[in-house]
Chain A
Amino acid sequence: MLRSRGFWLALYLGAIVLPLLVLLAGERPRPGGFWWDFSLALGYSALAMMGIQFALTARFKRATAPFGIDLIYYFHRYLATIATLLVVAHVLVLLWRHPAAVGSVDPRSAPAYMTLGWLALLAFLALVVSSLWRKQLGIEYDRWRWLHVVLAVLGMVLAIAHVLGSGSYLESPLKRGLWLTLAAFWLGLTVYVRILRPAWLARRPWVVTDVRRERGRSWTLTVKPDGPHPVFDYHPGAFAWLTLRASPWAMREHPFSIASSPMRPGALEFTIKELGDFTNRIGEIKPGERAWVDGPYGSFGIDRFPHARGYIFVAGGVGIAPLISMLRALDDRGDRRPMWLFYGNSDYERIVLREEIDAIAGRIGMKVVHVLCKAGPDWQGERGYVDAEVMRRHLPEDLDGLECFVCGPEPMIRLAERSLGQLGLPLARVHSEIFDIA
């Protein structure tokens, strides 16, 4: 079912390059000099790149699965920032070479399409600044979500109006039509994600059936379908967008790994750590409350590598959430392949799901290595971080045929990749999920 990464990359490249090539087809306007045409082409390309952002964040399962949706959001940050820099370059080149053509910024003397262009620039800059420095600016996550969607749609609409108004390359009705269609398609994706998909979800309500306190300031939340619709099929390691105490249209959904085993249908579990505005209030949720679940998403997990000789798991803190789903599934399936779990935490008392992990490990013969960075003097086990030294002490010489799954903060993923590389496990065998994608 999964199309190759190459297919989606080619499609992506086409979506960026083709809108520009369309401008070259047929009758072209008079040349305006190298810098003039260069700047205008930059503007058009940047707009095409902005359009792509709507597709990247539209949660298309098939397109995002080969890469992992966490990576798609990571990519979105970079690409959107670069597109904004190109918009800035478009403006700077014109100001440098053709200031008279740019004219006054004053909206009273400037034509409408120029004012719209300036406003689009402001919207895009505000979008990037509010996203890259959200925490420093003290913008609350839920507020930021609204701001982000509003600014993105606004910037796009203003930029398209600017392009159609100045129209330099869009004199022919066919080209105008193509660009308008493209723009309508990008904006239509927002309608799909923000209106149509929530409407679909609204017909499939869920209910919270259990809220359980775990170690390490974490909670396990159990939800069940509240109606005839079944729990969707998912693979261990998948995640879903969860909405609590809000409507599906409220843009208050948060992504969480599914912690339960797909071998036990009927309910979903999420193990969530208190880390922010939303997660700090998970403990206040009462059984019987309404929940909305959009899933499953993600391609992280053992079921993409069913023929592995064995598995190595590396988790940091609540990064255990997607891994516990895999461990529970392996337990339910009676899998007895060689397995290791390196589990980094601050101290022994805060190891999330410690007792259950030890019980599963006993049943499936998995070796669990707790690595504590703030352990007391009486701790006999590993200390510090999950690095090459720790791994070398517990892994066999021959890592051939093993697949490794890492979930935790970014530095931990990098350290695990480097360490396993030193021990001879190729990078292609190390699969990771970035813990904080928001």
Chain B
Amino acid sequence: MREHWARMIAMLTGAIVVLLSAGFALLQNPPGTPPAASAPAAVEMALDLQVVARGREVFEAQNCMRCHSVGGEGNPRSPLDHAAAGLDAARLRAFTVGSESVADALGRRTLAAKQAYQQLPAEDLDALVAYLQSLVQLQPGDELGDRGKD
């Protein structure tokens, strides 16, 4: 009988934890809330598609998707779909390599992690920034982005 109760409490604990985690996730992602991303203003840029393709390669090679997502692929916490909507190329580059100018926006730990990318060859960085800028233009229909959904 005691064993029965022990099993019950252990399983109940498991169920409570799963429910609690689900509650946690719902609290973080309240249903019905409009996704956070604002519709991007039309950005007119001349982008070299070859450079953009190279930028995507760098993006994948550097495992950017562990912390960022594009089009729902990758870590959904920090989507980059509309990163270029409010940031110009210089600012995008500053975020990418963790320059001191964006220290307030990123926080100490993230900044330190990003500074590793200062080692990237200059043309790879240029390509990466071009790729990020392309995201806004290449997905005109996807204005809501992926935030708030998964």
Interface residues of A (CB under 8 A from B): 9, 13, 16-17, 20, 23-24, 28-38, 41-42, 45-46, 49, 67-68, 71, 74-75, 78-79, 82-83, 85-86, 97-98, 100-104, 109-111, 114, 167-168, 171, 410, 413, 417, 427, 430, 432, 434
Contact = CB atoms under 8 A, between A and B. Distances in A.
Interface SS, A side: helix
Residue from the set A29, A35, A75, A114 with the largest chain B CB neighbour count within 10 Å = A75
Contact of B65 (A17, A100, A114): A100
A33 B10 contact: no
A78 B11 contact: yes
A45 B21 contact: yes
Contacts of B28: 28, 31-32, 37
B69 A71 contact: no
Given A32-B77, A74-B6, A78-B6, 19 more contacts: A32-B76, A33-B146, A34-B29, A35-B150, A36-B75, A36-B76, A37-B28, A41-B24, A42-B18, A49-B13, A67-B2, A68-B2, A75-B9, A100-B75, A101-B67, A104-B63, A110-B63, A111-B63, A410-B3
A163 to B, nearest CB: 13
Given A45-B20, A86-B17, A86-B18, A29 B150 contact: no
A49 to B, nearest CB: 7
Interface string B1-45: 111001101110110111011101111110000001000000000
A46 B147 CA distance: 26
A209 B58 CA distance: 75
* 8 interchain residue pairs of minimum CB distance: A33-B150, A41-B21, A78-B10, A101-B75, A38-B25, A100-B65, A37-B25, A32-B77
B25 to A, nearest CB: 4
Contact of A29 (B6, B9, B65, B77): B77
B103 to A, nearest CB: 15
A34 B31 CA distance: 9
Nearest to A428: B1
Contacts of A45: 17, 20-21
B26 A34 contact: yes
A202 B6 CA distance: 34
Contacts of B25: 34-38, 41
- Interface residue range, chain B: 35 or more
Interface of B: 1-3, 6-7, 9-11, 13-14, 16-18, 20-22, 24-29, 36, 63, 65-67, 69, 73-78, 107, 109, 146-150
B65 A75 contact: no
A414 B21 CA distance: 36
A155 to B, nearest CB: 18
B24 A38 contact: yes
A101 B2 contact: no
Contacts of B11: 78, 82
Contacts of B3: 71, 74, 410, 413, 434
Contact of A167 (B6, B65, B109): B109
B14 A31 contact: no
